[in-house]
Chain A
Amino acid sequence: MGILAWTWIIVGLSFSLYISIAIWAKAKTTGDFYVAERRVPPVLNGMATGADWMSAASFISMAGLISFMGRDGAMYLMGWTGGYVLLAMLLAPYLRKYGKFTVPMFVGERYYSNAARVVAVLCAIFVSFTYVAGQMRGVGIVFSRFLEVSINTGVIIGMAIVFFYAVLGGMKGITYTQVAQYCVLIVAYMLPAIFISIMLTGNPIPQLGFGSSLSEGGQQLLGTTGGYLLDKLDLLQQDLGFKAYTGAGAKSTIDVFMITFALMVGTAGLPHIIIRFFTTPTIRGARASAGWALFFIALLYTTAPAVASFARFNLLLSVNNKAYEQAPQWIKNWSKTGLIAWKDKNGDGKIQYAPGNAFAGKIAFAKTPDGQMEIGPYGEQVVSTPQTPIETSRNELYVDQDIMVLANPEIARLPNWVVALVAAGGLAAALSTAAGLLLVIAAALSHDLIKSILAPSTSEKMELVYARIGAGLAVLVAGYFGIHPPGFVAQVVAFAFGLAASSFFPLIIMGIFWKRATKEGAIAGMICGILFTAIYIIYFKFINPELNNAAHWLWGISPEGIGTIGMLINFIVMFVVSKITKEPPQEVQRMVESLRYPRTI
């Protein structure tokens, strides 16, 4: 059976599973809708958090990013896991003790101010939308390659599915769907990695495989000699003019440091992750869930660097200096989606792969007058984007980072059903995260805006209706961003982190650990933090993208890492303003005090 048939079967089966769960777990009360009635056991909550957390960016883009960045890519690995340590020790148990529905609600009560609550609602919505855009794009990419539809059609199919189970099931539906999605995505991620690890090194554990030496079979397969895989990869990279894979990369140490920090703190401040800790039955459970969540996440995150180096190794060996006509089939398959492109700069009919961009700007393809793709002399789609001058780069190949995981099984010539399974895993990852984010948006609109501020007399039944309408509207906006994406999947996601780091994290930490933090301090801190971060990012990414390089950055910190500075600004402003304003009312201080002890006192 072909890839297409297998994909329909496996994706179809997994989707019917999610939809059945959504129907079974239909939310009946607002408690169901927002926090699944707090009946989710820690291990299951950990799995659901894992799926909620591991997005299209983690599943689809991360290994690709690492593959192209070498050791610098570890900032994603450490950044996207280290935040859980902060969550477990600084946030989860206290917020569970607080025991209400949403993060803006905590902010509103702790800072005794509806203004603080509204700002928190806006931040939650802003962060969630930035993040959800990347997810919908990821769904589109998977659908377009594996179901052979356009990326935009793919986005629309994804919207329809998410709409169904987020709107119907709320948190309860989402939680149990996410448990199923975790199982699908982890199997889909590990299985090809295990196969490839065995093929190349004979070691069935990919986490160890990429640190092993090449087996005889692996040497034959790739036409190379023996030795440690990573050492060979370093040599291969250097031969082609790249930096060593395991050594310092293109980024400065301060930038790597700042980005890692922004990602960690951002993780701990992401509203859709925090909200998951409201669903456990006990405080002990909330602490343990964070551990289980990270355990389940680490299974994938320790496999990712193995996948990245296998993919890189394969790419360098199987592509460079090959005649295009004899290039592996996956190159041609992925060219159809426009995510791989080749232009014969030096006219030798072979693919030259070297450092630097092959083309100047976004890839576009030439069309014939009757609207068909123009095909070049070797059967390639003709690229209409201007090529970068040959003096700056003799690279002829454009490979989109987002395809490395999805293309990997094909690259390693694994059976078609494995390829289809990976597609299902990518969809599971993107849809579960999108659903979690939509819930945050829905809760922010219905609970924090309508029920608490605009129309407090709303009945529970009506609130549930508003929550569902909110989720529905959010799906539409998410779909729009999926069709008109503001950048690479992983880059967009990185912004959401910077914004979460500079708004929520200081607010919640100070709210729990410092009784003296006042509402004036909180509002001033949050506004300064998020404004600084957003302006920095928008300035370099949208207003003056040509200035977006280390020479123009503040202290050499890229827009991806600036959230760390935004967070510091938030902390400092909050501290100073709190010191000079009137201390919080006694009952608020007593509430903060009570968060510190699990038992009610």
Chain B
Amino acid sequence: METKQNFAAYWRMNLTYVVILLSIWFLVSYVCGILLADALSHIYFGGFRLGFWFANQGSEVVFVILIFVYVKLMNNLDKRFDVEEK
């Protein structure tokens, strides 16, 4: 019984991570790169207008970071709940 609860907690943590990380995913691409792109374009970032930069490069850089953060978090979680592959 105890293991069963542990598994449920593991799954809940996994889903929490995913929800948080996907919110950031949505924020950088759809919000900054599309919906607010015009508003952000008044801000300069070097020679880039910020909205344009998010749409062209910023989101992709954040995407890569998000996946590696997820990998790290999940590997730790696997260990903590002792469900890693043997």
Q: Footprint of B on A, CB under 8 Å?
A: 71, 74-75, 77-78, 81-82, 84-86, 88-90, 93, 207-208, 210-213, 228-231, 246-248, 253, 256-257, 260-261, 282-284, 287-288, 290-291, 294-295, 298, 301-302, 305, 596-599, 601
Name the one of B33, B64, B83 contacting A599, with C-beta atoms under 8 angstroms. Answer: B83
Given contacts A211-B53, A294-B63, A599-B85, contact A88 B70 (CB under 8 A): yes
CA distance A291 to B41 in the complex (A): 30
Residues on A with C-beta less than 8 A from B53 are: 211
Given contacts A71-B37, A596-B11, contact A82 B57 (CB under 8 A): no
CA distance A125 to B16 in the complex (A): 35
Interface of B is mostly: helix
Top 3 A-B pairs ranked by shortest CB distance?
Answer: A74-B55, A228-B47, A291-B67
Name the one of A89, A282, A295, A298 contacting B70, with C-beta atoms under 8 angstroms. Answer: A89
Given contacts A81-B59, A291-B71, contact A212 B84 (CB under 8 A): no
Taking a contact as CB atoms under 8 Å apart, the answer to whether A253 and B47 are in contact is no
Given contacts A89-B22, A291-B71, contact A78 B85 (CB under 8 A): no
B58 to chain A minimum Cβ distance, whole angstroms, is 9
B16 to chain A minimum Cβ distance, whole angstroms, is 12
Name the CB-closest residue of B to A597.
B83
> B43-66, CB under 8 A of A: which get 1 and which 0?
001111101110111011101101
Residues on B with C-beta less than 8 A from A77 are: 55-57, 59-60
Among B7-45, those with CB < 8 Å from A are 7, 10-11, 14, 17-18, 21-22, 25, 29-30, 33-35, 37-38, 41, 45
Contact-residue bracket for chain B: 35 or more
B35 to chain A minimum Cβ distance, whole angstroms, is 7
Taking a contact as CB atoms under 8 Å apart, the answer to whether B29 and A291 are in contact is no
B75 to chain A minimum Cβ distance, whole angstroms, is 6
Name the CB-closest residue of B to A209.
B47
Name the one of A85, A257, A302 contacting B67, with C-beta atoms under 8 angstroms. Answer: A85
Q: Footprint of A on B, CB under 8 Å?
A: 7, 10-11, 14, 17-18, 21-22, 25, 29-30, 33-35, 37-38, 41, 45-49, 51-53, 55-57, 59-61, 63-64, 66-68, 70-71, 74-75, 78, 83-86
Taking a contact as CB atoms under 8 Å apart, the answer to whether A230 and B49 are in contact is yes
A218 to chain B minimum Cβ distance, whole angstroms, is 13
Taking a contact as CB atoms under 8 Å apart, the answer to whether A88 and B30 are in contact is no
Name the one of A78, A301, A599 contacting B29, with C-beta atoms under 8 angstroms. Answer: A78
Name the CB-closest residue of B to A305.
B56
Given contacts A78-B60, A302-B60, contact A246 B33 (CB under 8 A): no
CA distance A231 to B49 in the complex (A): 9
Residues on B with C-beta less than 8 A from A596 are: 7, 10-11, 14
Taking a contact as CB atoms under 8 Å apart, the answer to whether A85 and B63 are in contact is yes
Taking a contact as CB atoms under 8 Å apart, the answer to whether A260 and B34 are in contact is yes
Which of B35, B47, B75 has the most chain A CB atoms inside 10 A of its CB?
B47
Name the CB-closest residue of A to B55.
A74
CA distance A93 to B75 in the complex (A): 12
Given contacts A71-B52, A207-B57, A230-B49, contact A78 B83 (CB under 8 A): no
Name the one of A78, A207, A212 contacting B47, with C-beta atoms under 8 angstroms. Answer: A212
Taking a contact as CB atoms under 8 Å apart, the answer to whether A247 and B41 are in contact is yes
B15 to chain A minimum Cβ distance, whole angstroms, is 8
Name the CB-closest residue of B to A81.
B60
